[in-house]
A = this chain, B = another copy of it.
Amino acid sequence: MKVSMHAMSVEVFTHALGNLSWILEKGAQSAAQRKIDPSVLLAARLAPDMLPLTRQVQIAGDIAKNAVARLAGQEPPRFEDNETSIEQLRARLARTQDFLRSVPASALEGSETRDIKVPGRERTLEFKGLEFLQRFAIPNVFFHVTTAYDILRHNGVELGKRDFLGGAR
């Protein structure tokens, strides 16, 4: 027995986005307790030329959604980037998880050898499906989930590794 592309994409991303949603919930609780406007956290960045929390969350979900759609040969649903609250961002993550769960393992059968193209600003990246998952989709989703966590930690939200890994609930 080997592992499926579905296990390493849909299952991994659904879990990671659930943890991100929980991390945001802890951010909302912390803001309420400390009497901080949550929009301050949503606009926070680790460097002036890094993206703020809102964009980190939107992008984490979009990379997961678009990656699974690409691997399945589907057109991914498009979400407008119009969230202005933690609650709205969490709803977007839930919609993203719903999409991920809607893609059955059978739709990803054989996707490890599928040609995947990722158009970018400077150039188009080209991968086989397996390499796309190993070197692009998985690292990228965790980059944005971790950076969202790091932004909240940097802003005094009490979070620990268990919140990130999902063992806390």
Contact = CB atoms under 8 A, between A and B. Distances in A.
Interface of A: 1-5, 7-8, 11-12, 15-16, 19, 46-47, 50, 110, 112-113, 125, 130, 134-136, 138-140, 142-143, 146-147, 149-150, 153-154, 156, 161, 164-167
Q: Which of A5, A113, A125, A150 has the most CB of B within 10 A?
A: A150
A26 to B, nearest CB: 14
Contacts of A125: 167
A75 to B, nearest CB: 24
**Interface pairs A-B: 4 shortest CB-CB:** A142-B142, A2-B2, A146-B146, A46-B154
A3 B1 contact: no
A9 to B, nearest CB: 10
A156 B47 contact: yes
Contacts of A164: 139, 143
Nearest to A15: B135
Nearest to A142: B142
